[in-house]
Amino acid sequence: MNEGSKRAIFAAFAANLGIAIAKFVGFLLTGSAGLMAEAVHSLADTGNQALLLLGSNRARQHPDDEHPFGFGRERYFWAFAVALVLFSMGGLFALYEGINKFRNPHEVESFGIAIVILLLASALDGYSLWT
């Protein structure tokens, strides 16, 4: 993996971690279950970036007797693991939250805090995109 790719993964990791923290703080301030769900989602995204870094580090191992062609393709396994986590856990969590909100609707509270968190998340995602 080249330095640009690694830098992009680190930037996405930092941005997703910052977004998760902001959303969790918003949950603590407002008690909004939606913000809690979003904080968990952003934390899962952070974990996905960690798995990608793990895969890239393991792929750089040198060939050995058991793996004469090296470990370069191991990154694809970890990318597949990330896809499975995003699809399964993200989908199940979204389904759970959707059903819960459908059964127990409530009005938006603390609109100003939500806007601040949205702007912060947009800025961090922009940082991640341009890095």
Tens-of-pLDDT digits for all 131 residues of the chain?
677 788 888 999 999 999 999 999 988 888 777 788 788 888 888 988 898 888 888 888 888 888 888 888 887 888 888 888 877 877 787 788 788 878 988 776 778 888 899 899 999 989 888 87
Cβ proximity of 128 and 18 under 8 Å: no
Query: What is the distance between the alpha carbons of residues 21 and 14, in angstroms, rounded to a whole number?
Result: 11
User: Which of 26, 131, 42 is closest to 90 using CA atoms?
Assistant: 42
pLDDT of residue 123: 93
Query: What is the distance between the alpha carbons of residues 75 and 47, in angstroms, rounded to a whole number?
Result: 15
